[in-house]
Amino acid sequence: HQDEDKLTEYMDELEFLAFTAGATVQKRFTQKLTQPDSKTFIGSGKAQEIKEYVKENEIGTVIFDDELSPSQLKNLEREMEVKILDRTNLILDIFAQRAQTSYARTQVELAQYQYLLPRLTRMWTHLERQKGGIGMRGPGETEIETDRRIIRDRISLLKDKLKTIDRQMATQRNNRGKVVRAALVGYTNVGKSTLMNALSKSEVFAENKLFATLDTTVRKVVIGNLPFLLTDTVGFIRKLPTQLVESFKSTLDEVREADLLIHVADISHESFEDQVESVNQTLMEINAHQKPMIMIFNKIDDFSYDKKDEDDLTPSTKKNISLEEWKKTWMGKSKYPTVFISALTKENFPEMKKMIYDEVMKIHISRFPYND
């Protein structure tokens, strides 16, 4: 990583992911390299340093922020004699814990097997695997060849199963008829579920962890007598494992087939601009970037306070500027209707509802031009 601030943010996010998976982080290690070592990702001096720390402090797992190649993973485990997880493995584990519907579970299982297949010769199979824990589900070393075949069979079975459910879900979407469909999009943890709850008065699971939402939820929302469907989609995250991008196709279909995107950003997060960028990137990848969109900047209640110190009221954003000043930047000038709210305190809700109403109405009218 080039930039110091970025590095801290990335490590914060990784720590948050680890926390979501149920781990406690003891120490961070960073290293500046022009490019990762092809054999061990980090340099051998750093690997030695981590190994010693792990031994001394009886650390159970070392987590890397990038996806490691199968051989890097193997070499590192051999060298450091500890269980290694990479970012992909960690995210897959969280998804596995949180998948609720059979569809989501099937998707995660498929993604896990796809991740596992090239990594079957891993070392930690003989290291304390009985203890279980994050990323410890998988076959043992001796049965590897048989396991490979079984896993390939399993993968094609899961793919068939997903195809069937995909077709069913497509039919369900078609049956929803001509009611306008809006989809909440936004980086994970920005407040999409909270907003969904506030708008639909239903109880969607919201908590301060990454990926509280895994399965798509659809709710009927009525604003000023105008009903529409609101979908809460899976949290977008930087470097979403490719296995998941592929297998969460159907979740993204909800976005692809929505009439209106409601893009939520967490303005209290120091790297929210990057998060917005990363969501836009994904929207582009699935060809959904030309849809009508509303930008909602959420958590204005939490905006200017330094979260590390409750008494310190100095602005904590990296640019140290106020909300009013923010509004004069690209955010206020966006080509999309833009609103600043707090889903928690419901500040500016009337303005937001009006904005959503107007956009939904535009689509509604284009669909039923002769009504009224």
Residue 206 makes contact with ligand GDP by CB under 6 A: yes
83 or 299: whose CB is closer to ligand GDP?
299
Q: Check residue 40 and give left, alpha or beta (phi > 0: left; psi -120 to 50: alpha).
A: alpha
Residue 299 makes contact with ligand GDP by CB under 6 A: yes
Site string for ligand GDP, 301-320 (x = CB under 6 A): xx------------------
d(CA 319, CA 304): 11
235 or 241: whose CB is closer to ligand GDP?
235
Residue 190 makes contact with ligand GDP by CB under 6 A: yes
CB of 189 to ligand GDP, least distance (A): 4
Residue 250 makes contact with ligand GDP by CB under 6 A: no
CB of 293 to ligand GDP, least distance (A): 16
**Dihedral sign computed on CA atoms, order 209, 115, 155, 164:** positive
Interface residues for ligand GDP in 86-115 (CB under 6 A)? none
Residue 191 makes contact with ligand GDP by CB under 6 A: yes
Q: Which two tokens stand for residue 39?
A: 């054999």
d(CA 337, CA 354): 11
CB of 15 to ligand GDP, least distance (A): 16
d(CA 323, CA 328): 9
151 or 341: whose CB is closer to ligand GDP?
341
Q: What is the DSSP string of 169-221?
A: HHHHHHHTTTS-EEEEE-BTTSSHHHHHHHHH-------SSTTS--S-EEEEE
106 or 233: whose CB is closer to ligand GDP?
233
207 or 285: whose CB is closer to ligand GDP?
207
Strand pairing class (217-223; 83-86)? unpaired
Quick one: which of 344, 348, 357, 362 contacts ligand GDP (CB under 6 A)? 344
d(CA 41, CA 72): 6
88 or 194: whose CB is closer to ligand GDP?
194
**Dihedral sign computed on CA atoms, order 337, 338, 344, 345:** negative
Quick one: which of 18, 111, 162, 212 contacts ligand GDP (CB under 6 A)? 212
Residue 343 makes contact with ligand GDP by CB under 6 A: yes
Residue 193 makes contact with ligand GDP by CB under 6 A: yes
d(CA 297, CA 191): 10
Q: What is the dihedral of CA 44, 54, 308, 212, to 10 degrees?
A: 100
Which of the ranges 133-141, 157-165, 241-249, 293-301 carries the binding residues for ligand GDP, by CB under 6 A? 293-301
Quick one: which of 52, 143, 153, 207 contacts ligand GDP (CB under 6 A)? 207
HSE-CB for 233 with a 13 A CA cutoff: 27
CB 327 within 8 A of CB 340: yes
Q: Which two tokens stand for residue 189?
A: 């943890």
Quick one: which of 208, 225, 287, 290 contacts ligand GDP (CB under 6 A)? 208
**Positions in the binding site for ligand GDP (CB under 6 A):** 186, 188-194, 206-208, 212-213, 235, 298-299, 301-302, 342-344
